Amino acid sequence: MAARAGHIAALLDGDMPTELVKDALKAGVRPLPSANDLEPSCSCPGWGYPCKHAAALC
């Protein structure tokens, strides 16, 4: 990724380049966490896990 400045610029611009995803998967790295990788924490009174706020972030 460091060799491709365009990837970094795209990420800073809020974009996820397709080539970055392909390169990450080839290297055995998931570009984004899955829902099971996250431990949500919210102070809302919602009873669901994750609550609707944490689910929206996932």
Mention every residue, 6+ apart, whose C-beta is less than 8 A from residue 39: none
Q: Is the pTM of this model over 0.75?
A: no
Q: Where are the domains of the chain?
A: 5-57
The reported pLDDT for the residue numbered 37 is 81
Integer Cα distance of 32 and 23 in angstroms: 13
pLDDT in tens, the chain (58 residues): 667 788 888 888 988 888 888 888 898 988 888 777 878 888 889 888 888 888 887 7
